[in-house]
Structure 1
């Protein structure tokens, strides 16, 4: 018995030391084991929770009794607050929110990669590049717009588009791949940045058809339109974000991994325009991109995908009126996405066609893919006259008076009538009464899948998302 006790004590001491050593080492080992090789940050610009809910019903197959889950539903992990620095109140713009998502720091509205003192802050993309990873941005707006710029640049104001574009060369090339729009900012009278990128070793493309032939061993600059890409409904490839993302991943894959920003940029534009048809087509483009990324992560489990919005736009409401407020509704609660599922042209494109041509009720019914009324056509004709008057008045101004003013769009009043028709048909509401739908301050959803995705569970601030990504990139 006396021999047994020292032996037992020795065994317990060894076990205790072993457990202590494991406890001391486990956090570091766990973090190392949990660090993904590749990180894909996806931003649905303007994509508040009403947009993902609306997409579920828009995407629903009416021939089945169940409402099918979407890629958003099955990857939901939590929510995020979006407020900017107190200097700008409670409602953020895209620049301040994208800077929070890229740096982990709150800042003022319009800031690009700067803190409240107007000092540059390192972004997750810049840090990933320092760690030896390849980096890239894929967007459906100009590549020097607020969100991509907030990962790539540092500027006092988001609308300094030329200066931001210049910084993509002047401050050092920070990405191995850029796909989106913005040609007019990169080929200007005063400077040809495309030539400078080519001189720096980049392969340049300006057509979707050229994406398939990108050389594997070269960095890529792809600019496919003067500013933003066309609406998904009007583009030659209605899933252009998915197509660009697939090509980008193929280009960025390497032994050290990569960090990539992907933005479904024009969901926000749909909210600003209070255009549910255009917004849902943009959501569909983003959803198809995420479905591809799901399959990619299944084959590449060392990849993390994080998805969120920078803010919500327009105050979207799924269901606006009831039978008490409109006898045509015939229901207390109703939303009817079937009127927009079959649309193949954006309301903006329809408005331009109606403005440029004499279109009959029959013609408009074909364009809309559902029947409208003679009263609707009369309203559109009256709107056309209003637009003509606005253009005439603007053109009569002197050059001095036009300076600083934005030229009115010759189809805007017609577009307003068309989107109103669609809102009535679908029973869609918009909380914003601004001529251009405003941002709202509500929390936005967060989705994640792949290695390390559990870090994004629950409620968090938008700055927390960047902080977690920095940690997953190995920053102490």
Structure 2
């Protein structure tokens, strides 16, 4: 496995010899979080009883920005796999790459380097644990969609006989408990603790590796979960389990900021950002009590082309977002399976819809039913070349349109954009990550920290 050349000039050089002092590095990736998301959260979180717009945890510690473009073969717009590979290895690769270079050769990651130095390692995510970002720190694969292979690699690929992670928390039953292979049982046979409910987090014992899988794929949206601050709860557990005299490396991913951007669901986006904010506030307190810790927060890319004001109106009104109790996806499912009425919509949106808004939802549902009927009437041969209608998408767009119109939120895309992303840092070596940098520079600086605190 190729070692990275760490002789590049860094914006801030440590210029110190290896130390016997332990150090913790916490890398937080807010998938899809462009600058409009942190700005939007500021206004969403604003206390209207005061004249000033209050600073958020993101504002307090923003220290720079990062470019996100992938290897030239993929142009200027990155996907999560290439973005995470840049952040984990310091090398740009093609879209879809999981810690491999453009020639599909494995590249050492910061998590692997930390493990090889005797540090504890872990990952906490709100997606499935074998999704693009966590996978790009832990294993190697030529394509992010090889979910079963990636899950298998978590068991097979080891460093000096040890699993590469000590703590792994997120979703993913579907890939770890399969008909042809039950990875959970295999892990348990090697003395790895396993839980599948949040309430069991306190049962995990320090000193033993632990896996927690709390959903079939990704965790429920923050708006739909029993614990809207599930990322902070998982993070709190991980820091306790990983704490040791040799230091640790922990990856945290606020995965569903990206999913909200793809869905153009501003209510879910702000709820996911709120969970991230609570996680960063938790880490702020952790750093105060553990000053030998550096926390870096950035994004792999921005998603959705979020605009805080649309259609030429100089207005953005996020207050209605605080009323939301369900994600757009959850609202859509209820509208599809139940008769649409003012009482139902008022209950689901938690505010009174106009007659026109209710009618728009009914029309969207009828349109989706009509398209399904047309598709079902096709012959088997015709269906092969036809695209099956997706009622969730048709009705879902009507749902998000109502929220977007009420808040005057705009979106330019259902995909990723190529803009730079924020870099936020706190703790012992936060200043290393100041200024504008490339995403690969972040990994190179983390490698530098690992070298400084190498203990064996």
Same structural fold, with TM-score higher than 0.5 when normalized by the shorter chain: yes
Q: Relative to structure 1, is the Cα distance of residues 120 and 60 closer, same or farther in structure 2, using a 3 angstrom cutoff?
A: same
Q: 1:79 maps to what in 2?
A: 65
Deviations 1:256-308 (A, max 9, x none): 01100000000001110111001110000000000000000001000000000
Alignment CA distance shift 1:186-1:400 (3 Å) = farther
Distance 1:164 1:423, change over 3 A: same
Q: Which residue of 2 aligns with 1:346?
A: 327
Contact 1:34/1:452 (8 A) holds in 2: no
Alpha-carbon contact 1:35-1:472 (below 8 Å) kept: no
Q: Which has the higher contact order (CA 8 A, sep 6+)?
A: 2
8 A contact 2:123–2:169 mirrored in 1: yes
Q: Tell me by how many angstroms 1:217 deviates.
A: 2.6
Matching of residue 139 in structure 1 with residue 125 in structure 2 = yes
The corresponding residue for 2:204 is 214
Aligned to 1:474: 451
- Other-structure match for 2:5: none
Of residues 361, 369, 372 in structure 1, which corresponds to 2:342?
361
**CA, structure 1 residues 358+376, in 2 after alignment: closer, same or farther (shift >3 Å)?**
same
| Residue ranges of structure 2 left out of the alignment (5+ in a row) | 1-12
Superposed CA RMSD: 2.0
CA contact (8 A) 1:37 1:302 kept: yes
Equivalence for 1:235: 225
Question: Could you tell me which residue of structure 2 aligns to residue 257 of structure 1?
Answer: 247
Q: Aligned to 1:312, which of 288, 292, 302?
A: 302
TM superposition outliers: structure 1 runs of 4+ over 3 Å: 27-36, 389-410
Is 2:393 the partner of 1:445? no
Q: Distance in 1 between matches of 2:321 and 2:232?
A: 21
CA–CA separation in structure 2 for the residues paired with 1:404 and 1:220: 46
Match of 2:4 in 1: none
Displacement of 1:143 after TM fit?
0.5
Contact 1:36 1:451 in 2 (8 A): no
CA distance in 1, matches of 2:59, 2:378: 52
**2:23 is equivalent to residue 37 of structure 1:** yes
Give the drift of 1:399: 7.5
Structure 1 residues 427-469: Cα deviation after superposition (integer angstroms, max 9, x where no partner): 000112xxxx110000000000001111000010000000000
Q: Which runs of 5+ in 1 are unaligned?
A: 1-26, 323-331
Check conservation: 2:342, 2:358, Cα contact below 8 A: yes
Cα distance in 2 for partners of 1:276, 1:28 equals 41
Larger deviation, residues 189-198 vs 407-416: 407-416
Pairing 1:95–2:77 present: no
Q: Which residue of 2 aligns with 1:410?
A: 391
Equivalent pair of 2:340/2:362 in contact (CA under 8 Å): no
State which drifts further: 174-183 or 390-399.
390-399
Q: Distance in 1 between matches of 2:179 and 2:385?
A: 20
Alignment correspondent of 1:328: none
> Computing the radius of gyration over CA atoms, which structure comes out larger, 1 or 2?
1
Q: Distance in 1 between matches of 2:164 and 2:370?
A: 48
Closer, same or farther: CA 333–257 of 1 in aligned 2, 3 Å: same
Give the whole-Å Cα distance in 2 for the aligned partners of 1:452 and 1:406: 52
- For 2:434, the equivalent position in structure 1 comes to 457
* Whole-angstrom distance in 2 between the partners of 1:308 and 1:93: 15
Q: State the 1:135 CA deviation.
A: 0.4
Q: 2:9 — aligned with what?
A: none
- Residue of structure 2 equivalent to 1:389: 370
**Residue 204 (1) aligns with residue 194 (2):** yes
* Offset of residue 366 of structure 1: 2.8
Q: How does 1:9-20 map to 2 (within 5 A)?
A: none
Residue pairs, 1:168-317, within 5 angstroms? 168-172=154-158, 173-317=163-307
- Distance in 1, matches of 2:36 and 2:386, equals 34
Q: How many residues were matched structurally?
A: 437
Cα gap change, 1:219 to 1:403, in 2 (>3 Å): farther
TM-score, normalising length from structure 2?
Answer: 0.92
